[in-house]
Amino acid sequence: MTEASKGTREDDGLSLELVAAALRADSSDIAVYARVLTESLGDSLPPGCVDVERSRTLADRMQNRPGAVSRVTVRLGDRTLTLQLRRGVPDAEICHEVRGVVLSRSRVPVAQWVAELAKGLVAHAEQNAAAAAALRRLVAGG
């Protein structure tokens, strides 16, 4: 990446640090990531890129509520990033996949998961104008 393109991206509000900071706003709440990835960025990401799993209680089913977010999976290129709750604690995992075959699987701290997610989103935004616009809105807080 040239210094000129790096400066332009940062001027547009798409620096890796700003995107990561916006994503880290509440890193312990998986529902926040689900909302950001499906609502704020959902239309700009490729179909099937984000998968949100929910746990529904009987009360949720009876009252037609969606339930609590229990797992968020994001597929960006050859990386699959998964954030889920295990006994109420966020558990982050990054997998390297090629043609559906998992070559490596690593449990990582949530901060590292957020950094990898931000890196993947910025890389996607470099190739996709809609994703770039969505990330600008996320960084701006809107």
Quick: pLDDT tens for 42-93: 666 777 888 888 888 899 889 998 888 888 898 988 899 998 888 777 889 9
Residues 102, 47: Cα–Cα separation, whole Å: 20
Burial degree of 90 (CB within 10 A; 0-12, 13-18, 19+): middle
Vertex 38: Cα angle to 35 and 41 (nearest 5) = 105
pLDDT digit string (tens) for 88-142? 778 899 999 888 899 999 999 988 888 888 888 888 777 777 777 777 777 777 5
Is the whole-model pTM more than 0.85?
Answer: no
Per the structure, the count of domains in the chain is 1
Question: What's the domain range around 76?
Answer: 3-140
